[in-house]
Structure 1
Amino acid sequence: MGRLEEVFAAELALVRPDLSTRYARALPGARAAVMGRLWRSLLAEPLPGAARGQGEVLLADGRRLTGPPRLPYDLGGEPVLWLDGRPWTHPAELLAALGLPGTARLVEDLDNSVASLALSRAGATATVPESPEDYEQSVVDGHPYHPCCRNRPGVSVAEQLAYMPEHRPVVPVDLVAVPVADCLVTGSWPASLMAGDRLLLPVHPWQTRHLDLKPYATGAIPARPLMSVRTLAPLDGGPHLKTAFSTRMTSDVRDISPGSVRACVALSRLLTDLSARLGGRPRIARYLAGAAAPVNGEHSADLSAMLREPTSALAPKATVLPVAAVTRELAGDAAGWLAAFARLAMADALGLLTLGVALEAHGQNLLISLDRHGRPSHLVYRDLADVRISPARLARSGIEVPPVGARLLSDDPGVLHAKLFGSLIGTTFGSLISLFCRGDRAAESRMWRIVAAAARQASDRLPCRPEDRDALFGPDITVKAHLLTQLEGAPPGDSWTRLPNPLATPA
């Protein structure tokens, strides 16, 4: 048993002993799930000290790691990998044994990911979703390809049970009173979150505790956490509350920079205007307002919040769920369902790219509204802070560049294509097709042909730029390198790798 597995087991015995047996039973599956993600990354990413091959990794010291063949889009776990003939069943222990440069912290993260994933599986309940929040909370395993899919350092067992969506809690979001004159405020901050000359800032209770803010809290809003943990839907309706949660989850610290607060409304306006040019597609979950309070005289990423348009306002009578919450049973006729989704996703994403914005269209940001037959009828896009904007393309479309940070701006087609195609093809379609086909390679090929046909149809109808079409159907796509970006000494920001493109046009 990994070190953190033992720590989690001991704490669980104190706070929820009724889950201890389920947690112990969940551990082998959690290890295999994280091991499968680790094996994918080792086979797909250019890691220092390792050379990739077909079903093996050759280390710089001559040792050889072997395992089952695995395509980049495969889901499912790997119970065991073999290092020079010796079996390894725990991903953190295996990574430590590999001794790759810069992986010391990553070993700890994998240990945390396994323990947290087992806890998630132990605490999750199998219920039929009835509301958008139910669908959000039905996603138990996190990112389908990231080895740190449930990494939550600094969040105890008791806190995970109290705050994480898969445990289906109601979370009291604290309201911290701050003089409005001291705050950075964007958009129209609602009167319901004001008390005289003080702004009532929604603060996650984990953040309240860890920043010692409880004396400043003047009330709370009961809310249900969505997939991203720190965004919550109030029980009585109204805007979703995106709060700071300043620890690493998966791999990034989940605070909210003052720059994001400044840009959120302008960015929402841009995406909404572009969507209107495409006939209102995709629908955009806008940020309505944002605020950052000061810490030591400066507006702080640890004490910020944004108010986002709720899903109910965008599709009040429809079933809406994140792509990550789609199940094989929900899809029914998988081929027909995928064809309907692919037509929408390719038309909407390529349409926005042509106008000047590349979406990060993965399973958490991209939502599907279903018609009465359970088929995708339109898409919703949310969490705008990771799009990429091309000033040159906007100019050609007659649109001014909004006041956003330089991080979001790039005219480099490679940057735009990596952002969009890496998420949409590499994660969203890859995980859906693997989910639907369950390892049937012939069925997977048929499904990828359906997606390719939708991509060709959309690119033929739109005034797509030649470089976009070439990248969409080229031999390779650029996707995020989940391990590489977390190595000690890695440059800030995302790291990337190249994978075979399943939409590639045959030579």
Structure 2
Amino acid sequence: MPYDPPSADAYAAAPLLNCLLREIAQPTAEPGVHRLPGGRLLRVHGTRRPTRPELYDDLGPGRDDVGRLDPAAPDPHGTPHPLDHPALVKLVAEELRLHTGLDNPGLPAEMLDSREAVAAILAARAHTPPPDDPYRRSEQSLVTGHPFHPAPKARGGGPAAAWLPYAPEAYAAFPLTLLGVREDLVVEEGDVSALDALGEAPPGYRLLPAHPWQLELLGGALQQAFSEKHLVHLGTTAPDAWPTAAIRTVYDPARDLFLKFSLDVRITNDIRRLWAHDLRRLRRTDEAAARALPGAWLSDRGYRTASFAFEELAVLVRDGFGDLGDSGAPPLLAAGLTEGFDGSPLAATTDPEGWWEAYLRAVVQPAVTAFATGVVLEAHAQNTLVAVDAAGTPVKALYRDAEGVKLLTDVDREAGVDRAAGWERLVYTLVVNHLTETAGALTEHHPGFDPWPAVRREFARHDLPEATALLTAPTLPGKTNLLLRWTGADGADARYLPLPNPLATP
């Protein structure tokens, strides 16, 4: 039977349905059927990536008032009505209004924008061969993206022509724009010497690379700076860099260097600008993470920007892979392993138990050890790289992104968390967001495999009270991205609801 690739509707519906079912729907006694806040019944197909939503306009013949089927009824299922993506968005908005008493016309527009972005990405991928490098393939594989977000691929509502040349999912690669900033207007901290090797600045200026999409978004905002020669154009870099899954972070393979930029577009929950408060605490959080994760941390070395456009033109310099890139153990993005890409060792392994145990040893130990030293990683799958050996077996994890790090001992309210909140954050990012998704992907490729005994054994290895308690806790924290966005909460204001804990000892 020929393979029928997912449509844009299917890609866009899956994460939206995941949010709806996790956050406001209630399961009924019938598998796949869920009751919505307004009383209507919704059927979905599939589990980890639900698809083909069907709505029953009322209880339907043969159902009682809690949605249970009467097997003796002549037509117990009633008549389901398939929902395309616009109809699903309309339904979700109606149910959220009933559930919260609030309205948010902007979020449905983002959901529709996300679907249109997926359609543009699929069209581009149909005419562009995937990259040869397996690391790059893993970073640029995320067509679904965040599996529990209502609009994971929204790109600010602009036309696809504006952002598609910079989209990792479309296998983009592009030169960076080189600017010169007058020396007396440069603001920098940390080791940013790598920036000076990107080109040559004229006397009295310092090099500042810029993301071309960000410059387009800024439009005429920098016109005065150019007119007054505070800022000058210096051409572009060569060879090209390519965008990672994070979109605003690019990798320059010729220099083995990551660069992270401001991008004034909402991606998932936040406007992706390098905010001043994050930059000013960068050295503190990065140094703490580097101490806690020797050999397992890609350091954010420092930043450079212009005083007159501190956030808008900021660029952050991040370590490359160094010797790891030549060691025969190439890194792969954990989120790419979950989503799937050509050549993924998760799909190819013939020993799921051995592969999974190696994966857990690589990713859990650094994150839990860091917590024990007071560093809370944002250990979700998009912040985790996993190196594999020639057989595809995981051998090492690398974590990244000091912006998401929290410190248990930090008096800075925005950078620090107390121990209970820090552990909750780690459990969400590492177990719920990361391991649950990877386990689900592995199980799909190897039906019947139970991934959770190995996870229990891995956490039991750690002499940490929180790790021990995790093995008997009835629930895990699940982030409520749909409700966060609908109610207009701050993107960094995580709120959780309890999910059944598959780690709890049977």
- For the pair 1:355 / 2:373, whether they are aligned, the reply is yes
- Structure showing the higher helix proportion among its residues: 1
Change (3 A) 1:495 1:209: same
- For the pair 1:501 / 2:505, whether they are aligned, the reply is no
Offset of residue 83 of structure 1: 4.6
Letter in 2 for 1:52: Q
Offset of residue 81 of structure 1: 2.9
Q: Name the residue aligned to 1:398.
A: none
Change (3 A) 1:197 1:266: farther
**Aligned counterparts of 2:204 and 2:349: Cα–Cα separation in 1:** 51
Letter in 2 for 1:200: L
Q: Name the residue aligned to 1:4.
A: none
Letter in 1 for 2:453: R
1:290 aligned residue (281, 284, 303): 303
Q: Name the residue aligned to 1:433.
A: 439
Does the 8 A contact of 2:249 with 2:261 survive in 1? Answer: yes
Q: Name the residue aligned to 2:415.
A: 408
Q: Name the residue aligned to 1:104.
A: 105
Change (3 A) 1:238 1:370: closer
Offset of residue 367 of structure 1: 0.5
**Aligned counterparts of 2:172 and 2:45: Cα–Cα separation in 1:** 39
Change (3 A) 1:37 1:170: closer
- For the pair 1:145 / 2:164, whether they are aligned, the reply is no
Offset of residue 255 of structure 1: 0.6
Secondary structure at the residue paired with 1:345?
Answer: helix
Does the 8 A contact of 1:139 with 1:227 survive in 2? Answer: yes
Secondary structure at the residue paired with 1:335?
Answer: helix
- For the pair 1:454 / 2:458, whether they are aligned, the reply is yes
**Aligned counterparts of 1:182 and 1:242: Cα–Cα separation in 2:** 20
- For the pair 1:200 / 2:185, whether they are aligned, the reply is no
**Aligned counterparts of 1:332 and 1:169: Cα–Cα separation in 2:** 33
Segments of 5+ residues of structure 1 without an aligned counterpart are 1-24, 392-400
Q: Which has the larger radius of gyration?
A: 2
Alignment of 1:54-73 (within 5 A): 54=28, 55-59=33-37, 62-68=38-44
Secondary structure at the residue paired with 1:143?
Answer: coil
Instruction: Spell out, residue by residue over 1:468-505, the C-alpha distance to the aligned partner (whole angstroms, 9 max, x if none).
Output: 42135411111221101101443552232221111112
1:247 aligned residue (249, 255, 265): 265
Q: Name the residue aligned to 1:365.
A: 383
**Aligned counterparts of 2:55 and 2:446: Cα–Cα separation in 1:** 25
Does the 8 A contact of 1:120 with 1:166 survive in 2? Answer: yes
Offset of residue 201 of structure 1: 1.9
Secondary structure at the residue paired with 2:10?
Answer: helix
- For the pair 1:31 / 2:31, whether they are aligned, the reply is no
Q: Name the residue aligned to 1:486.
A: 485
Offset of residue 126 of structure 1: 5.8
Secondary structure at the residue paired with 2:381?
Answer: coil
Q: Name the residue aligned to 2:317.
A: 307
Offset of residue 407 of structure 1: 1.3
**Aligned counterparts of 2:41 and 2:334: Cα–Cα separation in 1:** 34
Secondary structure at the residue paired with 2:395?
Answer: strand
Q: CA RMSD in A?
A: 2.6
**Aligned counterparts of 2:262 and 2:211: Cα–Cα separation in 1:** 7
Does the 8 A contact of 1:417 with 1:478 survive in 2? Answer: no
**Aligned counterparts of 1:184 and 1:495: Cα–Cα separation in 2:** 35
Change (3 A) 1:238 1:357: same
Offset of residue 351 of structure 1: 0.9
**Aligned counterparts of 1:293 and 1:159: Cα–Cα separation in 2:** 25
Q: Percent identity?
A: 27
**Aligned counterparts of 1:315 and 1:245: Cα–Cα separation in 2:** 28
1:337 aligned residue (355, 363, 385): 355
Offset of residue 359 of structure 1: 1.3
Secondary structure at the residue paired with 2:382?
Answer: coil
Q: Name the residue aligned to 1:80.
A: 53
**Aligned counterparts of 1:82 and 1:126: Cα–Cα separation in 2:** 38
Q: Give the TM-score of the pair, scaled to structure 2.
A: 0.81
Segments of 5+ residues of structure 2 without an aligned counterpart are 59-80, 227-231, 338-343
Change (3 A) 1:146 1:249: same
Offset of residue 253 of structure 1: 0.9
Change (3 A) 1:301 1:57: farther
**Aligned counterparts of 1:331 and 1:245: Cα–Cα separation in 2:** 38
